């Protein structure tokens, strides 16, 4: 039975190109927003307060960091396959964090039990994805050691911490 994560080799080589192209497009949009949006201090000085649902210059830092990691993941495919594996793990962790963080912020106000349940669900989802990735040959004929896998998880956790600090 074929795995859901198994991609034919000729199509798998298109993934880094897609990562780079999508990353450049999204990063350029964030850079454009950074140079055209007002900062929170400017809005506060002009109108005497800020609005919660508006995007400000400071809101572009987190997405710009994420899109930079996406571009570096695509570029690392040609420089070093183990670096590509590590950056892919970091990207998966960041994308899962970006997907679950808004729910975490909403549910933590409603019920403090979510403070314990959501990280457990996040960790379970990440482990399920990692088990599938470890079973498949994501990169052609490269041996991924346990040290490289742990390094990928460590870099991913470090990127998540940086992402949270940029919020």
Q: How far is CA 2 from the centre of its chain?
A: 27
Sign of CA dihedral 45, 48, 53, 54: negative
Where is average pLDDT lowest: 51-55, 100-104, 161-165?
Answer: 51-55
Neighbours of 6 (CB within 10 A): 12
Q: How far is CA 129 from the centre of its chain?
A: 14
State the pLDDT confidence band at 28, using cuts at 50, 70 and 90: very high
Percent of the chain with pLDDT over 70: 78
State the pLDDT confidence band at 67, using cuts at 50, 70 and 90: very high
Name the residue with higher pLDDT: 85 or 131.
Answer: 85
Q: If you count them, how many residues does the chain have?
A: 167
């Amino acid at each position: 039975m074929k795995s859901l994560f198994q991609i034919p080799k000729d199509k798998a080589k298109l993934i880094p190109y897609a990562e780079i192209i999508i990353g450049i497009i999204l990063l350029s949009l964030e850079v454009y927003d950074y140079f055209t949006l007002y900062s929170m201090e400017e809005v506060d000085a002009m109108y005497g307060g800020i609005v919660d649902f508006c995007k400000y210059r400071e809101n572009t830092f987190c997405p710009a960091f994420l899109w930079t990691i996406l571009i570096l993941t695509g570029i690392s495919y040609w420089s070093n396959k183990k670096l590509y594996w590590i950056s892919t793990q970091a990207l998966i962790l960041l994308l899962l964090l970006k997907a679950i963080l808004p729910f975490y912020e909403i549910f933590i106000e409603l019920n403090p039990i979510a403070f314990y349940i959501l990280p457990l669900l996040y960790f379970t989802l990440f482990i399920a994805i990692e088990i599938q990735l470890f079973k498949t040959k994501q990169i052609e004929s490269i041996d991924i050691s346990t040290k490289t896998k742990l390094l990928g998880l460590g870099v991913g956790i470090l990127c998540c911490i940086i992402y949270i600090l940029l919020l």
